[in-house]
Amino acid sequence: MTIRTSLLALAASACLITPAFAQDMLPAPIQSAFDKIEAQPVSDREDWRFTMTFRLEDEELVGRYDGTLAEDERWTLVSHDEASLEGGLAEVWSEFTTEDEDDSNGLFFDPEEIGFLSSSLELVDETADNLTYGFVLDEAQAEGEDAEFVQYLRGELHLDRDEEQVRRMRLYAPESFKPNFAVRVREFEMVQEYTDLEGAPLPVLTRMSQTIRASAMMQSFEQIMVLEFSDIEYLAE
């Protein structure tokens, strides 16, 4: 495995942290936000149309999704000829276009996608419009490489103060760390941003970014990934 590939694996493990969490002792605004999410039925894939734009350094991939079409016709590659895709972009396209049977909330925020110690939630900043809560990830519920990685991360949930809706989720490393003997990660940040959509009961994911700056064997690496969703239509009644 190359250093660059290992960094991709490191990033992927951070995005796939999915331990369960207890909803006891949650601050009232977060409890209210999570109650609204839980009250919504799980979205079917048929409920969505959107354009996806994925950027990795100087490469870009654009695809269109239409959940109303037959399963093998839902994804359309806009920016490339699919036969010419290779390397990282080919892997990304394959991941997006391979549908599995797991339940999903679609583009809505899903608390199950992060695992944190509910007792660690703390109000760290507030303005007239927003509340920011810091939290610590639950190492005990992570497994394998994830357990070695999450110990170095912290998180933030940003809520709309009046509507009590999640607007932003951030995972970051407050300081540099060594996930293994070969790599030192100098910076890690992953941010998900949620925006109101007309007709949708909850804010929807419109942007996710991930930044990794690391070094190994006297070499420095930087990897910046951005995923954006636009032209979103929520079709459920």
Kindly indicate the confidence band of residue 139, based on its pLDDT and cuts at 50, 70 and 90: confident
Kindly indicate the confidence band of residue 6, based on its pLDDT and cuts at 50, 70 and 90: very low
Residue 187: is its pLDDT beyond 70? yes
Kindly indicate the confidence band of residue 24, based on its pLDDT and cuts at 50, 70 and 90: low
Residue 236: is its pLDDT beyond 50? yes
- Report the pLDDT averaged over residues 123-131: 97
Torsion angle defined by CA atoms of residues 211, 122, 178 and 190, in that order, rounded to the nearest 10 degrees: -10
- pLDDT score for 12: 44
- Report the pLDDT averaged over residues 139-161: 82
Give the separation between CA 157 and CA 231, rounded to whole angstroms: 25
Give the separation between CA 17 and CA 154, rounded to whole angstroms: 13
Give the separation between CA 13 and CA 76, rounded to whole angstroms: 27
pTM score of the predicted model: 0.84
- pLDDT score for 3: 38
- Report the pLDDT averaged over residues 115-135: 92
49 vs 141, more confident: 49
Give the separation between CA 195 and CA 10, rounded to whole angstroms: 28
Which residues are paired to 123 by β-bridges? Answer: 133
Kindly indicate the confidence band of residue 125, based on its pLDDT and cuts at 50, 70 and 90: very high
- pLDDT score for 208: 96
Give the three-state DSSP class for 42: coil
- pLDDT score for 111: 84
- Report the pLDDT averaged over residues 225-235: 95
Round the average pLDDT of the chain to a whole number and report it. Answer: 84
% of residues, the chain, pLDDT over 70: 84
